[in-house]
Structure 1
Amino acid sequence: MKNKKNSIPARLADDVRKNYILYLMLLPVTVYFIIFCYAPMYGIQLAFKDFIIKKGIMGSPWIGFTNFEKFFNSFNCVSLIKNTIGISLYNLAVGFPIPIVFALFLNYLRGKFLKKSVQMVSYAPHFISTVVLCGMLTIFLHPDTGIVNTLRGIFGLEPLAFLSRPEWFKSIHAWSGLWQSMGWNSIIYISALSGVDYQLHEAAIMDGASKLQRIIHVDLPSIKPTIIMLFILQMGQIMNVGFEKVFLLQNSLNFSGSDVISTYVYRVGLINNDYGYSTAVGLFNSLINVILLVGANALSKKVTAESLW
């Protein structure tokens, strides 16, 4: 007969008694996620119902996959998915490798004061709100008074209305996001690099390795697990472009290149009050993210033997 003292509930209860202070610290976070992340999942059933406010969620009739079929048959379904994936992949291509390069640069930067100054300057944009950032972009990219077009005029170039051109939207979104998040995103890589055994560097130096060779053969292999973990998590966010920034930079002229799933859900859900349909579109978006996350994790586990689970 299995010893009850060695059962999982008994061991958990014993651990709680011994480390109750740590569990009390964890309690507010747990309650937060239960209230704001798990409890709202009750509303997912709206995706499969013809929601009627008077009848409520439980009283509204079930309609199966009608809302999903409505979205897939809509005229802008392809453009929404294309814009969402396009902006996300652009952000990933720009925003994922550059913080790694920046962290490596800081790791080899000599002079404590200079290093701390560069870190502080690179971290600062992270604390600028999205609203302020979009306001700055609107001012800087103004075709008449913006600093970018002023500099273009100095070199004899014609001014461009950047925010009015759909083809420029992905670049503006990605590179402004890089400026805002590069320093902050590099923190975890800097921490990982601080844990690299310096004896490996000493051995490489004794063998005559250059700094570039040390980066390639010592630093990058040492932080590879961290890079892979963060890449998998990024893959799970491919369909989440971020509503606020897109919405604030969006206008009628760049709409064809800036309309994404999150802004579409906002229009049909909060403006048109079609809650069931908007829930279905949002659920489809989340399911794609889950599939990409699981797929990226499985591929990474098979190819590199590194994975989240």
Structure 2
Amino acid sequence: MNRELSSGHARELGSAPQKRTAWTERWIRYKKHKYFYLMLVPLVAYYVIFEYGPLYGVQIAFKDYMLRQGIWGSSWVGWKHFEYMFTLSPDFYNILKNTVVISLYHIIFGFPAPIVLALLLNELRLEMFKRISQTISYLPHFLSWVVLGGLLMTILSPTTGAVNLVLGWFGIEPIYFLGDPRYFRFTLVISAIWKEIGWGTIIYLAALASVDQHLYEAAKMDGANRWKQTIHITLPSITYVIAILFIFKTGSILSAGFDQIFNLYNPAVYSVADTLDTYVYRVGLMQLQYSFTTAVGLFKNIIAFSMVMLTNYIVKKMGQEGIL
């Protein structure tokens, strides 16, 4: 009888399912969703080829790069280009200041703009008018700065521009928006907001669509008007989205927008408009100083990475979800 019990117990143990390891569970999940992972292949290939592959060339920031000798054949010079950048370059600190100032203007005035527009669109009850408004606000995003640059030069012309024509009706002297250092940064920020404000509302509108409508009904029963509902329900419900986008925005603190500035600036406003991106283009490609401008670009990326990590740390300390 004991022998029968032991054999029965052995059969039970043999039929018990074996415990799966973490790798087994992961492989089963990959196999189950293989087509979804297959869709990631083009994206991964893009980043490997165009984002991580070029990192190989970063080493020329520490070399005297000669085109004929190639990357490996060029001689190492260590921190020479960084020392020149911080100590000998006559324009670097003014260019760095311009970049930071323009980027801060974009963050202070440009970052809240899509949030405000998304809140206003969310309050519209006439669906047709809401869709038309969204479409009109999206349109400038699909135009390149080459096209918009020509359009702005025409509209803001001090002699024939529509803006100065309207200002003349009120007795205001013509303003050279794109040629006067006092107005150029203002023009940059306003035109950038106009171009991207509609496109920036997409994520915020998607977040607003997920807000629980029962919260608004409860607030109405408590006597809260639309303003109080926005402050106490709507904004807190999308704070996590605002925090994540703000983290990414701070990462571009040293990227003031090459396309826009390059198509709008001129020598008359170099003192306030020349940024690291335009400086790298002008010195690196036009004057063939590849090693020096690579050092400038590497410095910019290190600062950007540091700002992302610092902002992420601060956001998490404030109780919000970060990106890491």
CA shift at 1:215, angstroms?
0.4
User: 1:210 is matched by which residue type in structure 2?
Assistant: N
- Specify the alignment match of 1:273 in structure 2: 288
Q: Is 1:156–2:178 an aligned residue pair?
A: no
Aligned counterparts, 1:82-101, within 5 A: 82-101=97-116
Aligned counterparts, 1:192-271, within 5 A: 192-271=207-286
Structure 1 ranges of 4+ moved more than 4 A:
none
Maintained 8 Å contact 2:283/2:289: yes
User: 2:73 is matched by which residue type in structure 1?
Assistant: G
User: TM-score of the superposition, structure 2-length normalised?
Assistant: 0.91
Paired with 2:184 and 2:101, the residues of 1 have a C-alpha distance of 11
Paired with 1:54 and 1:182, the residues of 2 have a C-alpha distance of 46
Aligned counterparts, 1:2-81, within 5 A: 6-8=21-23, 10-73=24-87, 74-81=89-96
* Cα pair distance change 1:243/1:4, threshold 3 Å: farther
- Specify the alignment match of 2:127 in structure 1: 112
List runs of 5+ in structure 1 lacking aligned partners.
none
CA shift at 1:78, angstroms?
1.2
User: 1:40 is matched by which residue type in structure 2?
Assistant: P
* Offset from partner CA, 1:11-52 (integer Å, 9 cap, x none): 444333222211221111111111110000000001111111
User: 1:99 is matched by which residue type in structure 2?
Assistant: P
Cα RMSD between the aligned structures?
1.4
* Offset from partner CA, 1:120-156 (integer Å, 9 cap, x none): 1111111111111111111011110000111111111
Larger radius of gyration: 2
Determine which of 103, 124, 128 is the counterpart of 2:139: 124
* Cα pair distance change 1:278/1:11, threshold 3 Å: farther
Paired with 2:189 and 2:140, the residues of 1 have a C-alpha distance of 14
Q: Is 1:178–2:193 an aligned residue pair?
A: yes
* Cα pair distance change 1:4/1:29, threshold 3 Å: farther
User: 1:58 is matched by which residue type in structure 2?
Assistant: W
* Cα pair distance change 1:140/1:228, threshold 3 Å: same
* Offset from partner CA, 1:264-308 (integer Å, 9 cap, x none): 101111111111101000000111100100000001111234211
User: 1:270 is matched by which residue type in structure 2?
Assistant: L
Q: Secondary structure at the match of 1:263?
A: helix
User: TM-score of the superposition, structure 1-length normalised?
Assistant: 0.96
* Offset from partner CA, 1:219-245 (integer Å, 9 cap, x none): 011111011111111011111112111
Paired with 2:22 and 2:290, the residues of 1 have a C-alpha distance of 46
User: 2:56 is matched by which residue type in structure 1?
Assistant: Y
- Specify the alignment match of 2:10 in structure 1: none
Maintained 8 Å contact 2:243/2:320: no
Paired with 1:168 and 1:6, the residues of 2 have a C-alpha distance of 64
CA shift at 1:254, angstroms?
0.9
**Alignment length, in residue pairs?**
306
List runs of 5+ in structure 2 lacking aligned partners.
1-17
Paired with 1:202 and 1:25, the residues of 2 have a C-alpha distance of 41
Determine which of 313, 316, 324 is the counterpart of 1:298: 313
User: 1:65 is matched by which residue type in structure 2?
Assistant: W
CA shift at 1:61, angstroms?
1.2
* Offset from partner CA, 1:232-264 (integer Å, 9 cap, x none): 110111111121111111111111111000011
Paired with 2:19 and 2:299, the residues of 1 have a C-alpha distance of 44
Paired with 1:21 and 1:247, the residues of 2 have a C-alpha distance of 42
